[in-house]
Amino acid sequence: MPVSDQPTLSIAIVSWQTRDFLLDCLRSIFSNPPQNSFEVIVVDNASTDGTADAVCSQFPDCILIANSSNAGYAAGNNQAIAKASGEFVLLLNPDVIIPAHGLDNAISFMQTHPDAGALGVRQVHPNGSLQRSVRGFPTPLSILSEILGLSRAFPASHIFGAYRMTYFGYDTVSEVDQPMGTFLLMRRKVIEMVGVLDEAFPIFFNEVDWCLRCKKAGWKIFFTPDIEIIHFGGASTTQVPIKMAWESRKSLLQYYAKHYASPVYIPLRIMIAAASWLYTALQARRRRV
């Protein structure tokens, strides 16, 4: 079905320096387009690799927002959401290949699960191996277990492994806390209820914060293994690895400042800051060696 003025699905893709990945992603969508009406909104964050020109010339049906500076992941998605008119909004990374019928199956899941506020899907590496793409919310106990190494010592534990969900099987439809934002299908009604992504989390933890708000509003979030995408992973973030390592941990601290502001959690926040500094310093040292 051709792109519609009033689509069922709006696909939001934020790109920075990922021209070739993005073009492959768009080919996977337009070569096997969903039967449901859809629109694709590409937000290019001031790439210097010719992304905007390539999208214009090769995929003229896309709605292109070409930013003059890098607005960040959260702000870029919010720009796309503001343009979107679909009943469902899919946040999609540019380094993803969508399978035939995958988008229609995802919409069908949401339509048959009216209590679903969002949906995540099974993700695999290009070689077909599983990506562990579902996590629990970073509660004080789960993050303390990470810092103390208890999650690695007891990966099958639903208590100590609660954050990375190292026990999760990825083989059945399940209600979950936070699927990776690589592919996050959101119901517009929920976005209107809980708001868009919080731009205080410019790159990381914005989808975690959104999923928490979604569940607090009474909606469920699901994972399904019946839709499988290929995710190359880190197409943008691996270009500046040390900066991204620190950004990730800084965003976790911001998450705690927002959701665990009580003085009771100050010792844990100090531990998170110290562990974050140490991790980033070690990563930087390894890069120099």
SS3 content of the chain, % helix, strand, coil (to 5): 40, 20, 35
Q: Which residues contact 246 (CB under 8 A, 6 or more apart)?
A: 276, 280
Q: How many CB atoms lie within 10 A of CB 36?
A: 19
Q: Does 9-132+168-236 carry CATH code 3.90.550.10?
A: yes
Supply the pTM of this predicted model.
0.90
**Domain boundaries along the sequence of the chain:** 9-132+168-236, 241-288
- Give yes or no for residue 287 having a pLDDT over 60: no
Give the per-residue pLDDT at 285. Answer: 57
Judge residue 208's burial from the number of C-beta atoms within 10 Å of its C-beta, 0-12 exposed, 13-18 middle, 19 or more buried.
buried
Judge residue 222's burial from the number of C-beta atoms within 10 Å of its C-beta, 0-12 exposed, 13-18 middle, 19 or more buried.
buried
- Give yes or no for residue 56 having a pLDDT over 50: yes
- Give yes or no for residue 241 having a pLDDT over 60: no
Dihedral of the alpha carbons of 173, 235, 244, 170, in degrees to the nearest 10: 10
Listed residue (45, 81, 116) closest to 195, CA to CA: 81
| Least confident span in 87-96, 115-124, 151-160, 216-225 | 151-160
- pLDDT bin (cut points 50, 70, 90) of residue 4 is very low
Alpha helices per DSSP H over 84-128: 102-112
* pLDDT tens per residue across span 162-179: 999 999 999 999 999 999
Give the per-residue pLDDT at 147. Answer: 84
Give the per-residue pLDDT at 247. Answer: 79
Give the per-residue pLDDT at 284. Answer: 57
